[in-house]
Structure 1
Amino acid sequence: MTRNPWLQGFRPVSQPRRTLVCFPYAGAGAALYRDWHLHAAPDDEIIAVRLPGRESRIGEPCLTEVAAAVPAILDALASRLDRPLILFGHSLGAALAYATARALIADGRPPRLLAVSGRRAPDQPLRRAPTASLSEAEFRDRLHALGGTPPEVLACAELMDLMLPLLRADFAMSDGFSDPSPAPLPIPLFAFAGTEDPEVSVADVAGWERAAGAGFTLRALPGDHFFLTQHRREIVKTILPLDL
Structure 2
Amino acid sequence: MSDTTPGTWLRRFHPAPDAPAELVCFPHAGGSAAYWFALSRLLTPTVEVAAVQYPGRQERHREEPLRDLHVLADRIAAALGPGGRRPRLLLGHSMGASLAYEVAVRLARTSGGAPAAVLVSGRPAPSRHRFGDDRPDDDRALLARMRALGGTGTALLDDPELLGLVLPVLRADHAALAAYRPTAAPPLDCPVVGLTGDRDSEATPDEVAAWGAHTTGPFALRTFPGGHFFLSDRFAEAAAEVSALVSGVSAARA
TM-score greater than 0.5 by the shorter chain: yes
Aligned match of 1:122:
126
Q: 2:239 aligns with which of 236, 240, 243?
A: 236
Q: Is the 8 A contact 2:17 2:48 kept in 1?
A: no
Letter in 1 for 2:119: A
Aligned residues: 242
How big is the shift at 1:38? 2.9
Pick aligned residue for 1:13 from 11, 16, 26: 16
* Contact 1:123/1:181 (8 A) holds in 2: no
Q: Tell me by how many angstroms 1:52 deviates.
A: 0.4
Deviations 1:9-35 (A, max 9, x none): 011224221100000001111111112
**Structure 2 length-normalised TM:** 0.87
Instruction: State percent identity of aligned pairs.
Output: 34
Q: State the partner residue of 2:216.
A: 213
Amino acid corresponding to residue 67 of structure 1 in structure 2: H
Give 5+ residue unaligned stretches, structure 2: 250-254
Unaligned runs of 5+ in 1: none
TM-score by length of 1: 0.90
The question of 1:223 aligning with 2:230 is answered no
Superposition map of 1:1-244 within 5 A: 4-40=7-43, 42-78=45-81, 81-108=84-111, 109-126=113-130, 129-131=133-135, 133-148=136-151, 152-179=155-182, 181-241=184-244, 242-244=247-249
Q: Secondary structure at the match of 1:164?
A: helix
Gap change, CA 1:79 and 1:121, over 3 Å in 2: closer
Distance 1:53 1:66 in 2: 14
Instruction: Choose between structure 1 and 2: higher helix proportion.
Output: 2
How has the CA–CA distance of structure 1 residues 15 and 122 changed in structure 2, closer, same or farther, with 3 Å as cutoff?
same
Structure 1's 156 and 217: CA in aligned 2 closer, same or farther, altered over 3 A?
same
> Is the contact made by 1:124 and 1:180 (CA closer than 8 Å) also made in structure 2?
no
- Give the Å deviation of 1:151: 6.0
Distance 1:227 1:145, change over 3 A: same
Aligned equivalents of 1:151 and 1:240: distance in 2?
Answer: 30
What amino acid maps onto 1:176 in structure 2? Answer: A
Preserved contact between residue 86 and residue 112 of structure 1 (Cα < 8 Å): yes
- In structure 2, relative to structure 1, the CA distance for the partners of 1:203 and 1:182 (3 Å cut) is farther
Matched residue type, 2:130? L
The CA RMSD measured in Å over matched residues stands at: 2.1
Q: Kindly provide the amino acid, as one letter, of the partner of residue 200 in structure 2.
A: D
Q: Which residue of 1 aligns with 2:252?
A: none
